[in-house]
Amino acid sequence: MYTPPAFRQDDPAWWRQFIRATRLCTLVTATAEGIEATPLPMMLDEGEGGEATLLGHLSRANRQWKRPPIGEALAIFTGPDAYVTPSWYPSKQETGKVVPTWNYQAAHVHGEVTFFDDPDELRAAVTRLTDLHEAERAEAGMATWRVSDAPEPFVAAQLRGIVGVRLRITRVDAKSKMSQNRSAEDRAGVVAGLSESPRPGDRMVAAIVADEGKP
């Protein structure tokens, strides 16, 4: 991913927070038969020694896991995005030297991918993923679900239908293109314009621009 200095996020704390907030990624692998890509939720797992991995699972019927990857895999996480019209820039009135652009955030996670189908390992992975995403509901006082809530034979049957995926992270290219290259006045115009949009995603971008590109 092309990441100019103004938008590059080198702090690991940034992309870790971004991955946790985004949750869904597209897992891409190159194979002898061509490119394979699957949208799936993956959780960030930070083990001992500082090694970080992504953990998830996909359908056993999905051919991606059956085709050996060539080289590293790529997990693409994308956050809120919005079109930015130059009509919001005060500098438009001053020079006219402005063009439209698009604000967005993304993290490209590179690493060695492995697939696994050991029943105990799969159960542990599914349980961790479920508990992670149900935690927000618990904190909000909403009804939650646990793997143990389902009948054991049913859970065992469901586990036979999936394959676990683990990506050992070797490199992360993180980018937050949120008008950092514009003047304070132009950024204020972007915030004001996006804040009036009927699109929820646009208003999310407005808040990020106002917070100087933080996820």
CA nearest 41: which of 53, 58, 17, 61?
A: 58
Inform me whether the pLDDT recorded for 213 exceeds 60. no
Q: Is the pLDDT of residue 212 over 80?
A: no
Which pTM does this prediction carry?
0.92
Q: To 10 degrees, the CA torsion angle through 62, 65, 71, 73?
A: 60
Position 47 scores a pLDDT of 73
Q: DSSP state, 172?
A: E
What's the confidence (pLDDT) of residue 96? 74
Q: What is the mean pLDDT of residues 76-99?
A: 89
The pair of three-digit structure tokens given for residue 48, joined into one six-digit string: 């001992």
Both structure tokens of 103: 């604000």
- Summarised one tens digit per residue, pLDDT across range 88-144 is 999 877 777 789 999 999 999 999 999 999 999 999 999 999 999 999 999 999 999
DSSP state of 137: H
- Is residue 144 a contact partner of residue 138, using CB atoms and an 8 Å limit? yes
What are the structural domains, with CATH classification, of the chain? 12-210 (2.30.110.10)
Q: Which residues lie below 8 Å from residue 141, measured CB to CB, with a gap of 6+?
A: none
Question: Which pLDDT tens digit goes with each residue over 140-164?
Answer: 999 999 999 999 999 999 999 999 9
Strands (E), 49-152: 52-59, 73-84, 101-116
